[in-house]
Structure 1
Amino acid sequence: MKKNVAVVMGGYSSEYKISIKSGNVVFNHIDKELYNPFIVYILENKWVVVDNNEKEYSINKHDFSIEIANKKINFDFVFNVIHGTPGEDGKLLAYFDLLNIPYSSAPFYQMALTFNKRDCLSVAKTYGIKTATSVYLNQGDAYDKKEILSKVGLPCFVKPNNAGSSFGISKVNEEKDFEAALKTAFQEDSEILIESFLNGTEVSVGVIQYKNDTIVLPITEIVSENDFFDYEAKYMGKSQEITPARITENQKNNVSKAAKHLYKSLNMSGFSRSEFIFIDDEPYFLEMNTVPGMTEASLLPQQASIAGISLSDLLTDTIQRSI
């Protein structure tokens, strides 16, 4: 009997539309000969399964099941494609742990840790990973603008601490723009991170589990037409994504080693995509995405394809290994 796979998408953050795009790509590439996939929207106002005719069936949150034509359907596996909360910050995974339903992501603690940029950077440093100079603020904290800028310098980045897809991020080139950047970041999160600008080549490194091994995928170089790799650059074609990256063999070895070391040190599982910037030959870690985009424009599927791994094979391997 074929296993039932819930492809959960949506979420409660600004990234929900991107998540739904990713989720539909995953749904379309799951091998229908092996599995029965279901589109599941996890939204603030409803949890529903949506069929081919756009008819909705409410999820029973007590056991994460549905009823169709008086028949109860339970799920054997959850493919988590929710960017942002509650999928990427671990909340939903803790719920599935309680129900003993296996899922594609890392465990809830690892998801929560990596989603929190400040905490992830702090832990990364303890494993010898280089990072930018940074300052952390909670909404309502008193702060000294000149003291912060003297530490991180200009230009600098102001980021929501718990958000993705570059929502709420600003590059601050002049002191007069600092408060506006704080306001923009605080619209996304009550915690923000202020980081020094690293002027170097930016790369994105996918690390996944595949065929019972942890592998580093071909590295992508990011060349943004905008001031940085923002939402437009990521999703609206305002960037070049060059795979394999135009970096030296030494740089490739250094960043591959750092990305894999971090993945293993954090006891990760599933897919990850980490961002680094090179200063000379040294990679500086920016952040780790544990629910990478899976749309046609997304980096991880492109990297896997260049490595000779089709999206269908990648999804099948993930489901089989987890079940």
Structure 2
Amino acid sequence: MMPKIAILTGGESSEREIALLSSQFITTQAKRFFSVDVFDFPQDLPRFIKDQAQYVLAIPVFHGRGGEDGQIQGFLETLKTPYLFSGIDGHSAGMNKVFSKLIAQSIKINQPGFQIILPGEQIRFSQKSVVKPYDNGSSVGVYIVGSQIELNHALETVFKLSDKALVEEFVAGEEYTVAVVDLKKKPQALPVIWIKPKKNSFFDYKSKYSDNGADEVCPAPIDKKLSDQLQQIAVKIHQTLGLKHLSRSDFIVKDQRPYFLEVNTIPGLTKNSLVPKAVKTADLDFGLLLKDWVETELKKRVR
């Protein structure tokens, strides 16, 4: 009889729709090796609490607040249910863009200049900037602003999504992303992906999740020195934040110099997502990776 796995997904964040799509991919891969039940939170929460003892492990597949910020992980630890992906600390550090940037700063990783803005604070426009919520993913609520009017509008909108805004220096360059997977318990960077949005000026929500929203070239057509540098930074972020199993770091490169933007602790796993493409390019099998991660976590429980 195959071990029983619970896949927890949905949630109430602005990224709920993407989480449900990601869970479909995870479910398909997990069913190759495990008996799987899917729970759509919050409506299936009572059912999961009632039945959770029959599952050897849970796989949380959430994006955004409530599921990718350490809350669901804390809930699972309270139930003493093993789970995949990063723990409370890793998720909360990755989701809080300000905190992850401060950590990156402390280990000398280059990144755009930034400041934190609270509701009611006055900020004068001084240069082209990127405005985003400090704790959202999937590029939800991200604006590139080029004037005081645009800045004011962006902040007004962002404060509807979050209680803090991050205003970053705009760096004009090429976008790249690097996924990191734990392979035989050691983090390994997958091939670099070059991202070129077709219609929008950056890799926004629409570009990420629509068919043909962007050209995504894997491996990226860049020299080995730059590729190695991006991969090394992604692994360093993964290790420093204490992330597990899977992460994805995003970058801008200008004049051959990488700028770290953010890390995703449960990156998108839809049919249009970047991680499955990188896994395939690396000649790896995502289902086997998943199986290895589950078995590794279960072995820890036996000790």
Structure 1 and Structure 2 fold alike (TM over 0.5): yes
User: 2:285 & 2:116 partners in 1: Cα distance?
Assistant: 40
Say which structure is richer in strand. Answer: 1
| Number of equivalenced pairs | 296
User: 1:25 & 1:94 partners in 2: Cα distance?
Assistant: 24
Alignment of 1:8-87 (within 5 A): 8-32=8-32, 34-43=33-42, 46-48=43-45, 58-59=46-47, 64-66=49-51, 74-87=54-67
Aligned position for 1:132: 112
Query: Is residue 270 of structure 2 the alignment partner of residue 282 of structure 1?
Result: no
Give the 3-state SS of the residue equivalent to 1:275 in structure 2. Answer: strand
Aligned position for 1:235: 209
Give the 3-state SS of the residue equivalent to 1:41 in structure 2. Answer: strand
User: What's the offset of the Cα at 1:80?
Assistant: 1.4
Q: Is the 8 A contact 1:30 1:316 kept in 2?
A: yes
User: 1:39 & 1:256 partners in 2: Cα distance?
Assistant: 33
Aligned position for 2:167: 194
Q: Deviations over 1:68-125 (max 9, x none)?
A: xxxx852211111100122100011011112221111111011001100011001111
User: What's the offset of the Cα at 1:164?
Assistant: 0.9
Give the 3-state SS of the residue equivalent to 2:83 in structure 1. Answer: coil
Aligned position for 1:315: 290
User: What's the offset of the Cα at 1:212?
Assistant: 2.2
Query: Is residue 246 of structure 2 the alignment partner of residue 271 of structure 1?
Result: yes
User: 1:131 & 1:322 partners in 2: Cα distance?
Assistant: 34
Q: Is the 8 A contact 1:136 1:192 kept in 2?
A: yes
The range that moved more, 114-123 or 90-99, is 90-99
Q: Is the 8 A contact 2:180 2:234 kept in 1?
A: yes
User: 2:146 & 2:217 partners in 1: Cα distance?
Assistant: 27
User: 2:156 & 2:214 partners in 1: Cα distance?
Assistant: 26
Say which structure is richer in helix. Answer: 2
User: 1:134 & 1:85 partners in 2: Cα distance?
Assistant: 22
User: 1:92 & 1:120 partners in 2: Cα distance?
Assistant: 19
User: What's the offset of the Cα at 1:320?
Assistant: 1.3
Aligned position for 1:4: 4
Q: Is the 8 A contact 2:194 2:216 kept in 1?
A: yes
**Structure 2 length as normaliser, TM-score?**
0.93
User: 1:309 & 1:65 partners in 2: Cα distance?
Assistant: 36
Q: Deviations over 1:284-303 (max 9, x none)?
A: 11000001111110100110
User: What's the offset of the Cα at 1:25?
Assistant: 1.4
Aligned position for 2:228: 253
Q: Deviations over 1:120-172 (max 9, x none)?
A: 001111011111111101223x22x32xx33xx21x11101111111111110
**Which letter does structure 2 place at the counterpart of 1:252?**
S
Q: Decide which structure has the larger Cα Rg and report it.
A: 1
Q: Deviations over 1:216-268 (max 9, x none)?
A: 00110010120111111101132111101121211111111111111112221
User: 2:193 & 2:50 partners in 1: Cα distance?
Assistant: 39
**Which letter does structure 2 place at the counterpart of 1:91?**
Q
**Which letter does structure 2 place at the counterpart of 1:21?**
L
Give the 3-state SS of the residue equivalent to 1:59 in structure 2. Answer: helix
**Which letter does structure 1 place at the counterpart of 2:24?**
N
Alignment partner of 2:155 out of 142, 161, 182: 182
User: 1:194 & 1:65 partners in 2: Cα distance?
Assistant: 44
User: 1:238 & 1:297 partners in 2: Cα distance?
Assistant: 9
**Which letter does structure 2 place at the counterpart of 1:38?**
D
Q: Is the 8 A contact 1:29 1:311 kept in 2?
A: yes
User: 1:168 & 1:245 partners in 2: Cα distance?
Assistant: 27
When the two chains are superposed, the root-mean-square deviation of aligned CA atoms in Å is 1.5
Q: Please, which runs of 5 or more residues in structure 2 have no aligned partner?
A: 299-303
Aligned position for 1:55: none
Aligned position for 1:168: 141
Q: Please, which runs of 5 or more residues in structure 1 have no aligned partner?
A: 49-57, 67-71
